[in-house]
Structure 1
Amino acid sequence: MALSSHTPEVMGWLARNGWTTGRDIGSLADTLIEIRVQDAIRQGWHLDTLKTATRFIHSYGKLELPYPRSSPEVALKFDPTAGYDGDAEAFAEISEGLGKKVFPVGYETYEFGIWLVDEIGRFFYLHHTGGYFLGENEYDAFALALSGKSRPDVEDFFV
């Protein structure tokens, strides 16, 4: 699926909601990541910190991006600490299938699906109906989120 990454629509959406080039939430990002790692341990799973996730959370952490075509309470929130009991096992299953580690970076407020990034920078969505592919990078994932188009199954990317 080829999407144009840095479209004016995507870049405008990010800018209107507080993101700028070079944005960095500093040590708060590291705290959020550690909270998530500890939650996985509490659930009985090991969750590796990934460079791709760390970079993303430093840049986008704590942003809330309302969907322009939805009601104001429907948004993407970039906080890796959000989740539910048992999600770490689901992350492990997706990682195993992909042959790549994943780390949660945020969630959608409407159905509470979790956004994940893998160690090579691809984005996935864990929903109660299954896992889905969002894009090769964050801009592709943002473009897909804005488009409202269907998402390919994560299994299509399993090795």
Structure 2
Amino acid sequence: MKAGPARWLAESGWFPERDIGEQADELIRWRLRDAERQGCPLTVFPKAGDLIRCYGLLRIPHPKSGERALVMDPRAGYEGDAADIAELAANLGQRLFPVGYETPDLSLLLVDEEERFFYLHHTGAYYCGSGAHEMFTGFINNVDTPDAEDFFVR
């Protein structure tokens, strides 16, 4: 039977009413400033802000692989990532905002306005599920992530 995320998240410090408040606002402001510095502004939207408030700053290790973890910090990235995020957003027809990343290879975890999750990895972009529960469940159960291209607006 596949594992669900509730206990796993709780072991990492999460609880249903968790809200990091002002810390979330600072994380978002940092990411917005960095995208502006890169010359490719991002826009935060309510779903992204809510996710950062709820899960922000958690490091959530994979239950079966000590080297893999989800780190819920939108400040991670690389030079030029804002342009890559904007390009993926245009292809999806939805705004995207980074909410974290996966270690060890710094795959950026992005969410769109419909709360669909995508990885932006050096090998391409991948779909990770709809809603936080599905995304977290897919991560802990090593569910294959289809290409984001399958979700592009044609």
TM bucket, shorter chain: over 0.9
Q: How big is the shift at 1:8?
A: 6.0
TM-score, normalization by structure 2: 0.96
Q: 2:128 aligns with which of 118, 130, 134?
A: 134
Q: How big is the shift at 1:119?
A: 1.0
Q: Counterpart in 2 of 1:83?
A: 77
Q: How big is the shift at 1:57?
A: 0.2
Task: Check conservation: 2:3, 2:141, Cα contact below 8 A.
Answer: no
Sequence identity (%): 48
Q: CA RMSD in A?
A: 1.1
Gaps of 5+ in 1: 1-6
Q: 1:146 aligns with which of 140, 146, 151?
A: 140
- Distance in 1, Cα, partners of 2:17 & 2:43: 25
Any idea what the Cα deviations from partners look like across 1:123-158, whole Å, max 9, x if unmatched? 111100000000111110001111112101001000
Q: Counterpart in 2 of 1:3?
A: none
TM-score, normalization by structure 1: 0.93
Q: How big is the shift at 1:74?
A: 2.4
Name the SS of the counterpart of 1:114 in structure 2.
Answer: strand
Q: Counterpart in 1 of 2:115?
A: 121
Q: Counterpart in 2 of 1:107?
A: 101
The answer as to 2:73 corresponding to 1:61 is no
Matching residue's letter, 2:90: E
Show structure 1 runs of 4+ deviating over 6 A. none
Any idea what the Cα deviations from partners look like across 1:40-59, whole Å, max 9, x if unmatched? 00100110011111000000
Name the SS of the counterpart of 2:100 in structure 1.
Answer: strand
Q: 2:8 aligns with which of 10, 13, 27?
A: 13
Q: Number of matched residues?
A: 152
Any idea what the Cα deviations from partners look like across 1:56-110, whole Å, max 9, x if unmatched? 0000000010001112x42110000111001001100110001000000001121
Matching residue's letter, 1:14: L
